[in-house]
Amino acid sequence: MAKTNLLNEMCAKYTTAQDVKAMGIYPYYRPISSGQDPVVTMASGQKVLMFGSNSYLGLSDDPRLKEAAIEAVRKYGSSCSGSRFLNGTLDLHEELEAKLAKFVGKEEAVTYSTGFQVNLGVISALAPRGGFVFLDALDHACIIDGARLGFSEVRKFAHNDMDALERKLRLTPRNAIKLIVVDGVYSMEGDIAPLPRIVELCDKYNASVMVDDAHGLGVIGENGSGTASHYGLTDQTDLIMGTFSKSFGSLGGFIAGSHEVLNYLKHNSRTLIFSASMTPAAAAAASKALDIMIEEPERREHLWEVTRHAQKAFKDNGFDTGHTQSPIIPLFVRDTIKAMTAVKLALEQGVFITPVIEPAVPKKDVLIRFALMATHTVEQVDEAVDKLTKIFRQLEIIA
């Protein structure tokens, strides 16, 4: 029995999760006992179709990544036992960084142990007192937290609304440091940032732009090199951030940009300097994934084939899929209980999907996220769309 104290009392007042559990529709922390493949095995032994993963290229269970990780553990051990800054830099990290910089078309890159830490450590370091950080309303949580940790004033603009961004930029001094941070591909809605307009505004108002390409890398742009490349705007995009937890099938993240900014970050970014570096296994797996990404364009082509197929099938069946332009397909439900119920019924019927509810999105934007992988087949997509159509009709989410 936990002792009574203020902290326990405060936490005990949070009952949302228990309430949902009592209703039998709690959709989180569902244990899986296999790799993130198109079919995963739940801890219960049930085999289900996985449409809730971020492994867009289907690489996280690829034998070549696993072998690279095992080799790295054999050579370097299980941990670097320190930060990049001090004792935790391996030749493996430096090789990966050189490849990443070339891949995204920037002068230099540095890796962090997670994507979340990249955004915390980069944005906070580049947000000095007297400066301004401009955030899209749908930016990922770690972008928001990175801005919170900085000293600059934070200005939010409505999602992808470039007039709103311009109005905010107009009100800031020309000579103040101004950093605009956007997702390249939005993680829940699947739409793409209007980078051409953002770059124009950067020129006009003397601002810089950082693109979080967690969901763009591996998926769009030349060889999957992301949103800036997709628009042909690599040179005009100041900073490109990526994570290894999606298309790269590993764990960790990086920031790429000019020598000057990278040098500054390497000596001032606290989540880099004061946190242990990427494990050898994670670095080796990410590096192998990058090679495969470049050498096997057919993976990305197939990802797009199943993506287009799924987008059309959902639309034909009357789903509201918003403005997706990517393998992330939002299925708008606009009702929390219905969304959780649909996720539960789907799992019972063999389809793993994930809900996106308040406070992550406003109630009117509650959705189910359906995400494709290069390893899915068209038949698997059809099976999932059929099952979800029946469930959505049963719950009167679609007609």
Ligand X SMILES: Cc1ncc(COP(=O)(O)O)c(C=O)c1O
Q: Could you tell me which of 326, 95, 83 has the C-alpha nearest to residue 214?
A: 326
Vertex 40 angle, CA 331 and 344, to 5°: 45
Q: Which residues contact residue 284 at a Cβ distance below 8 angstroms, ignoring those fewer than 6 apart?
A: 68, 69, 71, 72, 92
Judged by CB, which is closer to ligand X: 276, or 395? 276
- Would you count residue 116 as binding ligand X (CB under 6 A)? yes
Q: Which residue lies nearer to ligand X by CB, 184 or 341?
A: 184
Is position 212 an interface residue for ligand X (rule: CB under 6 A)?
yes
d(Cα 101, Cα 111) in Å, to the nearest integer? 11
Closer residue to ligand X (CB): 120 or 292: 120
Task: Tell me: does residue 277 bind ligand X (CB under 6 A).
Answer: no
Least separation in angstroms between residue 127's CB and ligand X is 17
* Active site (catalytic) residues: 187, 215, 246
Give per-residue burial for 265-293: e unless 16+ CB within 10 Å, then b: beeebebbbebebbbbbbbbbbbbbbebb
Q: Are 241 and 119 within 8 A, CB to CB?
A: yes
With binding defined as CB under 6 A, does residue 214 bind ligand X?
A: yes
Report the distance separating Cα 314 and Cα 316, nearest Å: 5
Quick one: which H or E segment has residue 134?
A: strand 132-136
Would you say 196 and 236 are in contact if contact means Cβ atoms under 8 Å apart? no
Residue 25 vs 256, nearer CB to ligand X? 256
Does residue number 55 form part of the binding site for ligand X (CB under 6 A)? no
Separation of alpha carbons 328 and 321, rounded Å: 10
Q: Residue 396 burial (CB < 10 Å; 0-12/13-18/19+)?
A: exposed
Of 23-31, 67-75, 150-158, 212-220, the window that binds ligand X (rule: CB under 6 A) is 212-220
Structural tokens at position 72? 């790295």
Q: Which range of residues in 83-91, 114-122, 313-321, 332-340 is near ligand X by CB under 6 A?
A: 114-122
- Compare residues 356 and 366 and give the one whose CB is closer to ligand X: 356
Separation between Cα atoms, residue 207 and residue 178, nearest integer Å: 5
Report angle CA 13, 17, 18 to the nearest 5 degrees: 75
In the list 38, 253, 257, 322, the residue contacting ligand X (rule: CB under 6 A) is 253
* Residue closer to ligand X (CB basis): 205 or 248: 248
Q: Does 326 bind ligand X (CB under 6 A)?
A: no
Least distance between ligand X and beta carbon 118 (Å)? 7
Task: Work out whether 113 is an interface residue with ligand X (CB under 6 A).
Answer: no
In the complex with ligand X, which residue's Cβ is closer, 215 or 387?
215
- Minimum CB separation from ligand X for residue 211, in Å? 10
Report d(CA 111, CA 278) in Å as an integer.
8
Binder among 120, 142, 210, 286 for ligand X (CB under 6 A): 142
Q: Partners of 153 in the beta sheet?
A: 132
> Taking the complex as a whole, how short is the minimal distance between the CB of residue 254 and ligand X, in angstroms?
10
For ligand X, the binding residue among 62, 108, 136, 183 (CB under 6 A) is 183
Interface stretch with ligand X, choices 72-80, 194-202, 211-219, 289-297 (CB under 6 A):
211-219
Which of 84, 93, 106, 140 forms a contact with ligand X (CB under 6 A)? 140
245 binds ligand X (CB under 6 A): yes
Task: Kindly list the residues in this chain that would bind ligand X in the complex (CB under 6 A).
Answer: 114-116, 119, 140, 142, 183, 187, 212, 214-215, 243, 245, 253
